[in-house]
Amino acid sequence: MSTEMKKSTNAELFERAQKVIPGGVNSPVRAFRAVGGTPRFITRAQGAYIIDAEGQRYIDYIGSWGPMILGHGHPAVLDAVLKAAADGFSFGAPTEREIELAEEILSLVPSMDQLRLVSSGTEAAMSALRLARGATGRSKIVKFEGCYHGHADALLVKAGSGLATFGHPTSAGVPPEVVRDTLVLPYNDVAALETTFDLHGPGIACVMIEPIAGNMNFVRAAVPFMKRLRELCTQHGTLLVFDEVMSGFRVALGSAQSLYAKAIPGFAPDISVFGKVIGGGMPLAAFGGKRAVMEQLAPLGPVYQAGTLSGNPVATACGLATLREVRKPGFFDALATRTKALTDGLLAVANEAGVPMAGDCEGGMFGFFFSRASGDPLPQNYGAVMATDKERFNRFFHAMLDRGVYLAPAMYEAGFVSAAHSADDIAATLHAAREALR
């Protein structure tokens, strides 16, 4: 008898998983529901590649949904994590490394004087919301259709019927009362913004936005829209909250806010939320802002917020080692060049094949859309994203997966390139795309 145990296939693992974990996954998008088929069970990853239970290797354009900006298993990060783990997993007491990570992040994001570390983007966005409400003494909040801010109850909302009406819960278990104060507006719509502030201005605690939205594929907030949003918030004493959980340290070293600060003199958000890259693949996130706002938090102020594993020593070691690589001179230029080569390449390959496609990228984040007609503009909001060709995306997704390229398994997700993706990886991806589109 062979001493080696028979390896399970992805399908066998998925079947087994579904017996003990709802839907077989611990986060819904992993189940491949949007595209159909069997999710790949990953056994390990290295550099730009992930390897599944059947030994199949894929070029990874998900990167754990953003955190793995250096690629998998970067030696400096691995070393920092192993050393930190040997010193202890968690103390529930302050450590010097938390200060170092806070200092590192604050040095790169000048809109913040202070920040607090938490363990997930959901937790950071939820805490930012409570802080905004506590600091302003107001209840109403504004979010945009298609932006995702984690799964806190008050943020699981879709637009109501009319303009500037309050939203409806998008999940069972969220009582209507809990989203009563959440307004949902179309993205990039200045008129809707103005109407909303006319109607509700003095009651709005904050506007929360993904400045470059990565949860409806890839949609930028237009500069005039952002400029008007900043003006209205300032005028009404409303806090502008940038959810940079995805875009933070991913689209630029100074995050998306640095791009808007370049385009709009004096621009800065009031509160910023980070996650994903700042943890380098470990559970770590943060929210921060000016001192006067942050001092509203316990133990200094009346806004309660806490966490047993917050500022975890192994996670902070991972995040710190990651950011120290990311801030090296030339890092973002190289990453952006590679990402643009991929995006431009995909558009060229689609064009060759006569398939209408639009695409965009910034730093190490990209998106592409199967348009309905050639020359269709890039989608500017959720409705336009959802009107692109889902069936074609799904066929393309599987054709690419079959050829060893792992794209996000849903057309409403952005893609990510890491520093470990080589020119050869991009070329192999474009070769696969050429075949897939045929």
Ligand X SMILES: *Cc1c(COP(=O)(O)O)cnc(C)c1O
Binding site for ligand X (CB under 6 A): 120-122, 125, 148-150, 210, 214-215, 243, 245-246, 275, 285
In this structure, what token pair is assigned to residue 174?
């969220």
Q: Is 148 an annotated catalytic residue?
A: yes
In this complex, which beta carbon is closest to ligand X, that of residue 148 or of residue 267?
Answer: 148
Q: What is the DSSP string of 196-259?
A: HHHHHGGGEEEEEE-SEE-SSSSEEPPHHHHHHHHHHHHHHTPEEEEEETTTTTTT-TTHHHHH
Least CB distance to ligand X at residue 206 (A): 15
Token match 């950011």: residue? Answer: 323
Query: CA 362 to CA 367: how far, in whole Å?
Result: 9
155: amino acid identity, one letter: L
Least CB distance to ligand X at residue 240 (A): 15
Look at phi and psi of residue 336 and say left if phi exceeds 0, alpha if psi is from -120 to 50, else beta: alpha
* CA pseudo-torsion sign 220, 225, 228, 229: negative
What 47-52 contacts at long range (C-beta under 8 Å, 24+ apart), as own/partner pairs, is 47/71, 47/72, 47/73, 47/420, 48/72, 48/418, 48/420, 48/421, 48/422, 48/425, 50/406, 52/10
Q: Is 406 an annotated catalytic residue?
A: no
Q: Is 19 an annotated catalytic residue?
A: no
Active-site position among 52, 58, 270, 276: 276
In this structure, what token pair is assigned to residue 224?
């005039």
Find the helix or strand (DSSP H, E) in which 403 lies. Answer: none
Pair 311, 95: CB distance under 8 Å: yes
In this complex, which beta carbon is closest to ligand X, that of residue 120 or of residue 418?
Answer: 120
Least CB distance to ligand X at residue 386 (A): 18
Active-site position among 52, 181, 243, 360: 243
In this complex, which beta carbon is closest to ligand X, that of residue 197 or of residue 242?
Answer: 242
Closest residue to ligand X, judged by C-beta, is: 121
Query: At a CB cut-off of 8 Å and minimum separation 6, what does 344 contact?
Result: 359
In this complex, which beta carbon is closest to ligand X, that of residue 345 or of residue 364?
Answer: 364
Least CB distance to ligand X at residue 276 (A): 6
Pair 323, 148: CB distance under 8 Å: no
In this complex, which beta carbon is closest to ligand X, that of residue 104 or of residue 123?
Answer: 123
In this complex, which beta carbon is closest to ligand X, that of residue 122 or of residue 388?
Answer: 122
Least CB distance to ligand X at residue 17 (A): 20
Least CB distance to ligand X at residue 247 (A): 7
What residues are labeled active site?
A: 148, 243, 276
